Chains A and B, each alone.
Chain A
Amino acid sequence: MTSSENPLAGLGRNAGAAVLVLSSLAGGDKHGYALVKDVEGFSGVHLPPGTLYQVLARLVSRGLIVALEADSRRRPYRLTAQGATVLADYITAQQRILKTGQARLKRSWTLA
């Protein structure tokens, strides 16, 4: 898959943070601070504010998430169908890598 086909590939160093944001939004709409807390809860990663908003802007521009109407100053974001597909593809690819790695470790190394 080329970078033009895979929107996450074009995010460069922010691809990891983008996956965290997409995974968080897969559980429902959230505004910036709620996103940070949720990501921190399920991954232990704290997304700094500058990085978070850079990723949000890029995901919006790629049509993977949409910004909803702001509630006072807090604007929630929602995962789009395209974003869900991209996240699902990414997770499938990662699972394949995970299974391969685990199987090879089991065969070659006496770990776990």
Chain B
Amino acid sequence: MDTRVRSKLDGTRRAVRLLRWYPIAWREQYGDEFVDHLEQEFVDRPVDLGRTVNVVYKGFAARIADVGLSNGDGLAKGRTRAAVGTSFVLTALMAMLALNFWSVAMGLWGGRRYHPAPDTVVTGVLSVAIGFLLVILIAMVVTVAVCVLRQIMRGRARPLVVPSLFALGAGGLLLYDVRWLPRMLVQYAHGTEPLRPNPTLSQPLRVIDELARITWMLTQRWVTPWSQNASNTPAVQTVVNYLVPLAVLILGISIALLVRRIELPHFGERLGRATVALQGALAASFFVAYALWFVVGGPSGDTPFWMGPQAGGAYLAILALFAVLIGRLGILARRVRA
């Protein structure tokens, strides 16, 4: 093969490799001209580390923008859907931790004889924030499921098949993991639980306490699977518990992909921006309220970090990171007009 032809082929291969740092939407819009540009640069300067670093860095920045976490790359098309999808993933992951933190806070709050007003206010904010976040997550899953079904019935199911299958698999595992929850709720409601007779609505503190206890039992297995007593837990259940965070991540990514691919009505984009902004506000409120509750004296000498201060601190930092990222998505979503 001619040396010039071989060198050109080599340049094309290098350019295509560098192009992979960019997200698909960017590659579709600029891919051909970018590869052509790089090929010409390779002729001028075959080796340039600064150029490689520049492409990798800008490609990464384009990927961050592609998931809605920055508004820098100029590809406004689909930005709202990207923000909605990413906020769903982040909120779903945050909800696992947030529910667990909420159950600890409410358990401590409900176990007290006296309830100072500041403590009640912040735990109230925690409850409202996590409650609305869960409602939004469920509403998003239902909306996406309805849109997917409608699109399938119209015969345009092809782009939805793979993410739908992943969503079904991950959702199935999550449902399997919480299969005992309805039975336990019924038991508590009807007083069939031997040790804890039924709390009634006339005893709101008991109801909250029980709800917090059930939530803690449910979520502590997800967020600290390594701390379980393996001898009391069946092997299958242990594996399922270990897989729950992964299933939440897969479900989140699948829903995010479906959000990008489903056909939405005209008001969908506007509703999506409002949803992301609301999620951002709720996530930020939850974190601020939890930090306040912690600082103001919510634990009352007890530790809210059942897994030890170091791991607890790490979880709190992760919660803060999620809250900041979702809050940022909310702010950026409000700015998008395209």
A58 to B73, CA, bound (A): 6
Q: Which residue of A lies closest to B56 (CB)?
A: A50
Q: A33-B36, A49-B38 are in contact. Are A54 and B75 (CB under 8 A)?
A: no
Residues of B within 8 A of A73 (CB): 32-33, 35-36
- Interface status of B34 (Cβ within 8 A of chain A): yes
The interface residues of chain A, by DSSP majority, are classed as: helix
A50 engages B55 (CB within 8 Å): yes
Q: Tell me if A98 counts as interface (CB < 8 A to partner B).
A: no
Which of A32, A54, A58, A72 is B37 in contact with, Cβ under 8 Å? Answer: A32
Q: What is the minimal beta-carbon distance from B23 to any residue of chain A, in angstroms?
A: 12
Q: Are B73 and A74 in contact (CB under 8 A)?
A: no
Say yes or no for B169: interface residue by CB 8 A criterion.
Answer: no
CB distance B58 to A54 under 8 Å?
yes
Q: Is the CB of B33 within 8 A of A48?
A: no
**Any chain A CB within 8 A of the CB of B59?**
yes
Chain A residues lying within 8 Å of B58, measured Cβ to Cβ, are 50-51, 53-54
Tell me what chain B mostly uses at the interface: helix, strand, loop, or mixed.
helix
| Interface size grouping (class) on chain B | 20 to 34
Q: Which of A25-77 contact B (CB under 8 A)?
A: 31-33, 36, 48-54, 56-62, 70, 72-75
In angstroms, Cα B59 to Cα A10, docked, is 20
Complex-state Cα separation, A56 to B33, whole angstroms: 12
B-side contacts of A75, CB under 8 Å: 32-33
With an 8 A cutoff between CB atoms, is B329 at the interface? no
Q: How far is the CA of A56 from the CA of B34 in the complex (A)?
A: 11
Q: Which of B29, B35, B73, B76 contacts A54 (CB 8 A)?
A: B73
In contact, A48 and B55 (Cβ under 8 angstroms): yes
Contact check, A33 vs B41: say whether CB atoms are below 8 A apart.
yes
CB contact between B30 and one of A48, A53, A61, A72 (< 8 Å): that residue: A53
CB contacts (< 8 Å) of A31 on chain B: these are 33, 37
Report which of A48, A57, A62, A72 forms a contact with B54, defined as CB distance below 8 A: A48
| A5 to B129 Cα, complex, angstroms | 37
C-alpha spacing A33/B37, complex, angstroms: 6
- Chain B residues near A60 (CB-CB < 8 A): 74
State the Cβ distance, B30 to closest chain A Cβ, in Å: 6
Q: Are A58 and B40 in contact (CB under 8 A)?
A: no
A5 CB → nearest B CB, Å: 15
Residue of B at shortest CB range from A50?
Answer: B58
B residues within 8 A CB of A49? 34, 37-38, 41, 51, 54-55
Interface residues of B in 34-91 (CB under 8 A from A): 34-38, 40-41, 50-51, 54-59, 61-62, 72-76
Instruction: Return the chain B residue nearest A61 by Cβ.
Output: B74
Known: A32-B37, A58-B72. A50 touches B32 (CB 8 A): no
Residues A50 and B33 in contact in the complex (CB < 8 Å), given A33-B40, A57-B74, A60-B74: no
Q: Which residues of B contact A (CB under 8 A)?
A: 26, 29-30, 32-38, 40-41, 50-51, 54-59, 61-62, 72-76, 338
Q: What are 26 pairs between A and B in contact, CB < 8 Å?
A: A31-B33, A31-B37, A32-B34, A32-B36, A33-B36, A33-B40, A36-B41, A48-B50, A48-B51, A49-B54, A50-B57, A51-B54, A51-B58, A53-B37, A54-B61, A57-B26, A57-B29, A57-B73, A57-B75, A58-B72, A60-B74, A61-B338, A62-B74, A70-B32, A72-B36, A74-B33
3 tightest Cβ-Cβ pairs between the two chains A and B: A50-B58, A57-B74, A61-B74
Other CB < 8 Å A-B pairs besides A49-B55, A70-B33, A73-B32, 15 of them?
Answer: A31-B33, A33-B37, A33-B41, A48-B50, A50-B57, A52-B37, A54-B58, A57-B26, A57-B75, A58-B72, A58-B73, A61-B74, A72-B36, A73-B35, A75-B32
